[in-house]
């Protein structure tokens, strides 16, 4: 995918699923939305605390609008047998800002690397199959600055675009920030320019032009 996405899919809430036991071992998949590494770690801490008597808590997370930030852990299982299969399910379901932990209670029979991959990946995939999803619009913060004389025009424009100004500042000019869908940022800049005869300016907070 090239460029910035206009929206992405994430989990609507926490989901848990436990498939049938495999040779005595229990695999419990717990999935949650997470908008940061800190949120993902906090969720994992909660899972570990709840299942403190389990043998393993393997996990994977995928964060960011394009899922660029990923991490996985086998938590003591053979390398590549747990974390990566879980991450593959997260990626395969095309969700991001999400973390999935799979808890294992050892049943006394070793499953081998292939069996573990199927068990961990299968539990994660079945949990994600059942998870409620939601679309998130990617928004960018735009700083608007305009003369006082254009206040009426700007208020009408914001109302038409269903935008709410944030952090208003009243100095030599009026300044505020709005959150605009990334796919509409350039159009909004044009609308502001037209509404104020180019007296108002629009800039992305990160310093990049909205266009």
Query: What pLDDT, in 10s, does the model give residues 136-192?
Result: 988 889 999 999 999 999 999 999 999 999 999 999 999 999 999 888 899 999 999
Q: Average pLDDT in the 7-36 region?
A: 97
- The CATH H-level superfamily of 7-136 is Impact, N-terminal domain (3.30.230.30)
* Alpha helix (H) residue ranges in the chain: 37-50, 83-92, 112-130, 151-161, 185-195
What's the pLDDT at 3? 54
Q: pLDDT band for 210, please (50, 70, 90 cuts).
A: very low
What's the pLDDT at 6? 84
Fold of 138-204: Alpha-Beta Plaits (3.30.70)
Task: Give the whole-angstrom CA distance, residue 37 versus residue 53.
Answer: 25
Phi, psi of 195 (to 5 degrees): -70, -25
What's the pLDDT at 125? 98
The CATH 3.30.230.30 domain(s) of the chain lie at 7-136
Q: What is the per-residue pLDDT across 104-139, written as a single tens digit (0 to 9) for each?
A: 999 999 999 999 999 999 999 999 999 999 999 888
The CATH 3.30.70.240 domain(s) of the chain lie at 138-204
Beta-bridge partners for 11? 133
What's the pLDDT at 55? 94
What is the average pLDDT value for the chain, to the nearest integer? 94
Is the pLDDT at 208 greater than 80, yes or no? Answer: no
What's the pLDDT at 205? 85
């Amino acid at each position: 995918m090239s460029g910035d996405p206009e929206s992405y899919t994430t989990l609507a809430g926490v989901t848990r699923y436990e498939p049938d036991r495999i040779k005595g071992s229990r695999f419990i998949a717990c999935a949650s939305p997470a908008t940061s590494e800190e949120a993902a770690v906090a969720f994992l801490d909660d899972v570990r605390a709840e299942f403190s008597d389990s043998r393993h808590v393997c996990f994977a997370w995928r964060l960011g609008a394009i899922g660029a930030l990923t991490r996985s852990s086998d938590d003591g299982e053979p390398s590549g047998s747990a974390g990566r299969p879980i991450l593959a399910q997260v990626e395969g379901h095309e969700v991001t800002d999400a973390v999935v932990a799979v808890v294992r209670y050892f049943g006394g029979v070793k499953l081998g690397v292939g069996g573990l991959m199927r068990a961990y990946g299968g539990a994660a995939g079945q949990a994600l199959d059942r998870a409620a999803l939601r679309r998130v619009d990617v928004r960018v913060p735009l700083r608007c600055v305009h003369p006082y004389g254009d206040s009426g025009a700007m208020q009408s424009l914001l109302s038409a675009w269903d935008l709410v100004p944030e952090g208003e500042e009243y100095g030599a000019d009026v300044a505020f920030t709005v959150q605009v869908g990334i796919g509409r940022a350039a159009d909004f800049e044009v609308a502001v320019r037209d509404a104020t005869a180019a007296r108002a300016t629009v800039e992305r907070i990160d310093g990049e032009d909205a266009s």
